[in-house]
Chain A
Amino acid sequence: MDRLLFLFATGLARGAIFALFALSLVLIWRAARIVNFAQGAMALVATYAAFAVTGVTGSYWAGLAAGLVAGAAIGLGVERGLMRFTPHSSPLSGVIVAIGLVMVLQSLLGILFGAQYRPMRAPFDDSPIMVGGVPLLSPYDLFVLGVALAVMAVLALLFTRTSLGLQLRASAFAPEVSRVLGVRVGRMVTIGWMLSAAVAALAAMLLVPTELGLNPHATDMLFVYAFAVAVVGGLDSPVGALLGGLVVGLAMTLVTGYLGATVAPIGVLVLLVGVLLVRPGGIFSLREARSA
C-alpha cells in the first residue's frame, strides 16, 4: 500500500511534466494544425542551452530562464525558417519535414556534445518527504507540480482573458475571417509556435534532472508519452492534455513500478491503440470531425 501511494505521488509529478509537454503539442496543433514531431528535439536544444548557461553562471535559475528564451527562439526559427515553407498539399509533408528536423538537431547535438549522459542538477532535494511514515513527493516533485500548474494557469488566463489570446484563438479557428477582421494571422501562428516551444523546453528542463541526464536522445520517450497524452486527451483540448497527462503519468509510473521500466513502451502502445480504437478523436475531444 505504501508503495502504491508513493508511486501514485510520483506519477502525479511525472504526469504534470507529460501534461505540460502535451499542452505544447496542443498549442501547435491549434495554431497551425501540425503535430510537431520535432517538439522533443527542439526542447532538447533549449535544454542544452540551459545546461550551458547553468555551467557558465553556476545558477540554475539563469539556466532555466535561458532555456525558456532559447525554446521560444527555436520556435520562432523553425516556424519562420522552415514550417512556413512546407507545402500544405498533404498533411504528411509537415510530419516528414519535422522528422528531418529531428534528425538534423539530434545529430548536431551528438556531434557538438557527444553521446555521453551529462547529469543535470536541480537546487532541490529529490529524496521523498515522509508523511506519516509513508514516503511521498520530494521537494523537487512539489516544485515541478507547482511550476506546471502555474504555467497552465497563466496560459489559461492568456487565452481566455487577453486580447492576444483572443486573436490567437480566432486565427486558429477561422484564419480567413480573422484576417478580414484585421488579425495578423501569420504573426499569431509564429507566436503560437514560440509559446509552444517554450512550454516544451520547460517540460524537458523539468524532466531531465529526474532521469539519467542530458543526452541527444533524452526527450525521445518524453515525446512518445506526450503524444500518447495528447491523443488520450484529444489534440484540440488543453483540459484534455492536463487530464490525459495525469492519467498517462499515473499509468506509466504504476506500470514501471510494478512491471519494470522495459515494459513501459508496450504500456504506451497498448494505451494508444486502445484509446484510438475506441475514440479516434481522443477521450476529451470537443467534437467529432465529420468526414461524410
Chain B
Amino acid sequence: MSRLLPSLRGIPRTIVLGAVLTVFAIGATFLLDPYRNFQLATVAAYFCATAGLTLLIGRSGQLSLGHAALMAAGGYGYALTANAMTDAGVTGIPRFLAGMLAAVVVSAALGWLLGLAAARLRGPYLAGVTLTLVIAVPAVASVFSGVLRGDQGVQIAYDGVPPVLERLIAVEQWQAWVAILVAGVVVTALAVFARGPVGLRMRAVRDDETAARLNGVRSGRVKVTAFTVSSVAAGAGGAVLCFATQSVSPGAYTLAFSLLLVVAVVLGGLGSIGGAALGSALIVLLPWLLAAGTAALPLPVELAQRLSGNLSILVFGVLLIGVMLVRPGGLVSLRRRRPSRSSGTATAAAPAEQPATTASPPAAAAAGARHP
C-alpha cells in the first residue's frame, strides 16, 4: 500500500487511508443484498473489537480472553442509555451519540480497572483473570437483573433510516453504514494511537519490560493505557452490535465468542489491523458458509444438529493451532516478503508488525531498548 500516495506520510496518511477505506466500504453496501449488509454490519462491529484486541496482544503483549465481556459492557452501556433517552423523548442521532458515549465511558472504566490488575500480571495470569471475567458475565447480568434484565438482556427501540435517506436505502444498509462509520473512526484512531509514542512504548514493554523500564518507560502506565484503549474499541464494537441487533444479552457474549475474537486476531496476524479485518470477516463468514454447506448435504437430523455450531468451532480450533505452529504471523504474513536475515532471528520470531511501523524512525529507538 506504500506505493499509493507516496507523498503522504505518518499520521495524515493513516487518517486519509482510513477515510478512503471507510468510503469504499460504504459504497460496497450498494452492491450487497440486505442480509449481506447485516453481515457486513456485524463484521464492522467485530472489527472494532478485534482491532483493539490485536493491538493489545500483538503490540503490548497482554493476552485478554475476555474482550467479549468488554463488548458486553459497551453494549449494555449503549442499550441502557438509549432506553433512558427514549423515555426522555430524545430520538435519532442524538440518542445514538449519547449511547455511544455511554458505551465508551462504561467500557473504558471497566478496561481501566482490568488494566490496573493487568499491569501487575504476566501472560497466563492475565489470561486467566480475563477468562473468569467473561464467565462471570451471565452472573453479573442475573445479580443485577433489575437493571440488566438477567438472561433475557436489554431490548432497545428500533432505529429506522433517517427521513432524508429513506427513499434511497433499506434499514439493513443504514445499519451497515453506521457500523462502518463507527468502525472507521475507531480503527483509524487506534492506528494513529499505535503509530504514536505510546504505541512505541507498548512495543518496547512487550519485547523486554526490564530494558524498557531501565530506559525510563513507565511500563505499568503503558499497560494500563493499552488495556483501556483496547477496551474502548471493544465497547464501541459492542454498542454497534447492540444498535444493529436492537438487543444485548449475556447469551451473545459467551466464552466461545470471546475465544472467537482471539481466533480472529491470531488468524489475521497478531498486531496487524488489516489482519484483524480479515479475521473479523472470517469469524462471521466461515460459520455461515459451513452451516450452508452442511445444510446442503443429506445428513441425518441428529448429526446435523450436532454439527451445527460445533463444526465451525472445530475448524477454528484447527486453524488456530495450525497458524500458531506453522505461521505465527497469520494471514497477513502470507503476502509479505520474509524479513532480511541480517537482522537475526529476533525480528523473525517477534509477532507480526506492519511494515510501515517497523520502517518508521522511532522504532529504531525501541530496537535499542531491547537486550542485545
Interface residues of A (CB under 8 A from B): 34-35, 37, 82, 85-87, 89-93, 95-97, 99-104, 106-108, 110-112, 114-115, 220-221, 224, 227-228, 231, 262-266, 268-269, 272-273, 276-277, 280, 291-292
B125-151 interface with A by 8 A CB criterion:
125, 127-129, 131-133, 135-136, 138-140, 142-143
Residues of A within 8 A of B129 (CB): 269, 272-273, 276
- Contact pattern, B 105-139, Cβ under 8 Å of A = 1, otherwise 0: 00000000000110011111101110111011011
Of B177-185, B227-235, B275-283, B311-319, the one with at least 4 CB within 8 A of chain A: B311-319
Give the most central of A34, A104, A269: most B CB within 10 Å: A269
A35-B127, A276-B121, A292-B213 known; A99 vs B310 contact (CB < 8 Å): no
Can you give 9 contacting A-B residue pairs, CB < 8 Å?
A: A86-B324, A95-B123, A104-B318, A224-B128, A227-B131, A265-B135, A273-B117, A276-B117, A276-B129
Q: Is A107 a contact of B313 with CB atoms below 8 Å?
A: yes
Query: How far is the CB of A255 from the nearest CB of chain B, in Å?
Result: 11
Residues of A within 8 A of B296 (CB): none
Complex: A273 Cα to B65 Cα, angstroms: 15
Give the most central of A96, A108, A266: most B CB within 10 Å: A96
Query: How far is the CB of B315 from the nearest CB of chain A, in Å?
Result: 9
Contact of B320 among A103, A106, A224 (CB under 8 A): A103
Query: How far is the CB of B46 from the nearest CB of chain A, in Å?
Result: 17
Q: Is A100 a contact of B127 with CB atoms below 8 Å?
A: no
Query: How far is the CB of B229 from the nearest CB of chain A, in Å?
Result: 19
Q: How many A-B residue pairs have CB under 8 A?
A: 154
Interface residues of B (CB under 8 A from A): 57, 61, 63, 65, 116-117, 120-125, 127-129, 131-133, 135-136, 138-140, 142-143, 209-210, 213-214, 255, 259, 262-263, 266, 302, 305-307, 309-311, 313-314, 316-321, 324-325, 328, 349-351
Query: How far is the CB of A288 from the nearest CB of chain B, in Å?
Result: 12
Q: Is A265 a contact of B259 with CB atoms below 8 Å?
A: no
Complex: A57 Cα to B214 Cα, angstroms: 64
Q: Is A82 a contact of B142 with CB atoms below 8 Å?
A: no
Contact of A104 among B209, B255, B317 (CB under 8 A): B317
Complex: A101 Cα to B135 Cα, angstroms: 19
Q: Is B321 a contact of A104 with CB atoms below 8 Å?
A: yes
Residues of B within 8 A of A110 (CB): 306, 309-310, 313
Closest to B325 in A: A85
Q: Is A292 a contact of B143 with CB atoms below 8 Å?
A: no
Give the most central of A108, A228, A265: most B CB within 10 Å: A265
Q: Is B132 a contact of A99 with CB atoms below 8 Å?
A: no
Q: Is B317 a contact of A266 with CB atoms below 8 Å?
A: no
Give the most central of B127, B133, B142, B351: most A CB within 10 Å: B127
A92-B123, A276-B121 known; A103 vs B317 contact (CB < 8 Å): yes
Residues of A within 8 A of B116 (CB): 277
Closest to B309 in A: A110
Q: Is A97 a contact of B132 with CB atoms below 8 Å?
A: no
Query: How far is the CB of A48 from the nearest CB of chain B, in Å?
Result: 14
A86-B325, A92-B61, A292-B214 known; A99 vs B259 contact (CB < 8 Å): yes
Q: Is A264 a contact of B139 with CB atoms below 8 Å?
A: yes
Q: Is B321 a contact of A97 with CB atoms below 8 Å?
A: yes
Q: Is A97 a contact of B325 with CB atoms below 8 Å?
A: yes
Q: Is A87 a contact of B328 with CB atoms below 8 Å?
A: yes
Query: How far is the CB of A277 from the nearest CB of chain B, in Å?
Result: 6
Q: Is B320 a contact of A96 with CB atoms below 8 Å?
A: yes
A-B CB proximity, top 6 nearest: A103-B317, A100-B320, A35-B124, A104-B317, A89-B349, A100-B321
Contact of A37 among B127, B135, B209, B349 (CB under 8 A): B127
Q: Is A103 a contact of B123 with CB atoms below 8 Å?
A: no
Q: Is A220 a contact of B135 with CB atoms below 8 Å?
A: yes
Residues of A within 8 A of B142 (CB): 262
Given contacts A224-B131, A272-B129, 7 further A-B contacts (CB under 8 A): A85-B325, A86-B325, A91-B124, A97-B325, A103-B263, A110-B306, A273-B129
Residues of B within 8 A of A112 (CB): 306
A103-B259, A111-B307 known; A91 vs B123 contact (CB < 8 Å): yes
Residues of A within 8 A of B311 (CB): 107, 111
Q: Is A35 a contact of B128 with CB atoms below 8 Å?
A: yes
Query: How far is the CB of B369 from the nearest CB of chain A, in Å?
Result: 13
Query: How far is the CB of B121 from the nearest CB of chain A, in Å?
Result: 6
Contact of B63 among A89, A92, A220, A280 (CB under 8 A): A92
